[in-house]
Structure 1
């Protein structure tokens, strides 16, 4: 099945999805058919800040129409922030949508975790992953830490790189969520956080939402091939 991706919402995020999917298809010894369209990150971030869900969904719909014309069988948005309009987009999309929030929720339910810390944009953190995790308490940073994480994340996502100061913000706040708020793991509520956290090397458990999403995308495409 031909995969359609809405990319461009952070260069590191698009690169991460591409590399993951190429690797997953290589492991499965299956040819990969994929088309990526470019969404504008500053436009999405402005719509996110103003909660303009319908407007952003319509942008995704127009991009998905291009993917359908290219032969894609379904679409996925390569941005957690981009899922703020997930219901509006799914209702209008000309292609089936592989939604990250629902897939991550099922994964967390299987893990049986009760308290999960979250990092990402302010909207993702304050909404507890868009209210999409019914089986666990999602703990956001509090006070100045919330703003520090948001500012560091936006700067990192826009640049596609992370500096030492930003890295320290994420790691110190994550450690607070583990040590002081009782989180059992940290949910990477922004795709670009893979620039900071490596699940195999981290000092505490991390949940890589983008990796879970990419795996489901690959699985669905291979099953339908």
Structure 2
């Protein structure tokens, strides 16, 4: 799924976003990446999405070498990834259903299948009754669920949620984490970044990666999974 070897990302000003990272994340895992703002969590996400290229070392995502990947290969890779951005990136003035459909516009699937996927994903996140509502009329939590539905409607092999609990109280944070975890599958890995380590202190059967100043350390690994 995701493999790194001595991976580093160095920005133009000479600072490191990540430095000498070695990881092996197999399919079907829940992965928590924790660390303070500026620690390197976002840098790692940018590398996974091909928004940045490695400065040195190796990164493989779903079998693709991210330092050698072509633009065509990158487009194909992104079709297999379902991102949930911190700011949601929803289109105001559009309905809930339209926002979910937008996330599938470049996928090689039929229009009728897109509509079916959109409705199923909204059902999974508990928003079937909001299909025709415009997103600006939703609560913060409902907007977040639309963003999650848009991600999972793509049937991705990799779901990446960036700080999904950042503006929620503990109760609603746990609800969102449980919702995201429910989309884990044998071939689907869910990566969640968060600075709120107290929310995952009792988590079992997960991979926990701590990031400090660009250094990534495995804190918790499921039995049978090698680091």
For normalisation by structure 1, the TM-score amounts to 0.29
Kindly indicate which of the two structures has a greater share of residues assigned to strand: 2
Kindly indicate which of the two structures has a greater share of residues assigned to helix: 1
Which structure is higher in RCO with an 8 Å CA cutoff and minimum separation 6?
2
For normalisation by structure 2, the TM-score amounts to 0.28
